[in-house]
Amino acid sequence: MSCLALLGIFVPSLGWHWVLFVWVYALAWFLVTDRVKLLAYRVFDPTGVADEPGEEGTSQPEVRGTAAAGAHDDGPHAAIG
């Protein structure tokens, strides 16, 4: 998009100083809003449960035992009896 504005394709031509200004402005606000996002994560999830995948409280199930133990699983009642 910067090239289109700089060269005047589909819009009136802009100079380098305006293109550079828009990029610096966008980068600065990107950094500001990213920090606000991280602050919001801390405020709305103060325990940090969602920080690591597989942690308690997430939707991923906990794996117990070895990989071979679950290889011949016959359902939820296979261990009973």
Residue 30 lies in a domain: yes
Half-sphere exposure of 6 (CA within 13 A, CB side): 10
pLDDT tens for 5-41 read 888 888 888 899 999 999 999 999 999 999 999 999 9
Residue 65 lies in a domain: no
Half-sphere exposure of 23 (CA within 13 A, CB side): 11
Half-sphere exposure of 37 (CA within 13 A, CB side): 6
State which residues form the domain around 32.
23-51
% residues pLDDT > 90 (the chain): 36
Q: Is the pLDDT of residue 66 over 80?
A: no
Q: How confident is the model at residue 47 (pLDDT cuts 50, 70, 90)?
A: confident
Q: Global pTM?
A: 0.50
What is the number of structural domains in the chain? Answer: 1
Mean per-residue pLDDT of the chain? 77
Residue 48: the pLDDT is: 72
Question: What phi-psi label fits residue 10: left (phi over 0), alpha (psi between -120 and 50 degrees) or beta?
Answer: left
Residue 38 lies in a domain: yes
Residue 42 lies in a domain: yes
